[in-house]
Amino acid sequence: MTNRGDLMPFPAQTTQATNWPAGVVARYLTVANATVDITTTIVNRRKNERGTEVIDVAIAATCAGCRDTDSDRFDGLFPHAINGLVDTHYGRDIRTWAQEHAERCRAMPRPEAAR
């Protein structure tokens, strides 16, 4: 039986809260500390055949390490659908891709350009 005092402590992990870039609605951390960011973008506003305003929306995930991406597009949504879109069935595939990618991508985050 091991005395708890004999166990090596885990190294301290530090996490820093950072502001997400504009348009990012979900973020996953890769095993190499890069991020996979999910964004939603209104690509078109129009009237449908009934004269009701609808939007066409692109939802995309991009890895900041290896730059791999995945995306979907959904046309003819009501404008309020953009709020929380990633948390609905529309965002399911992109969330799954982002999570699975984050679990296995070992590309290091790209350094930011010197300011």
Output 14 or 41, whichever has higher pLDDT. 41
Q: Percentage of residues in the chain with pLDDT exceeding 70? A: 83
Q: Strand 24-29 to strand 53-63: parallel, antiparallel, or no bridges (unpaired)?
A: unpaired
Q: Where are the domains of the chain?
A: 22-104
According to the model, what pLDDT value does residue 109 have? 82
What confidence category does residue 115 fall into, taking pLDDT thresholds of 50, 70 and 90? very low
Mean pLDDT of the chain: 87
Q: Strand order of the sheet with strand 35-47?
A: 24-29, 35-47, 53-63, 69-77
Stretch (H or E) spanning 69? strand 69-77
Q: Is the pLDDT of residue 5 over 60?
A: no
Q: What is the pLDDT of residue 4?
A: 54
Share of the chain above pLDDT 90, in %: 73
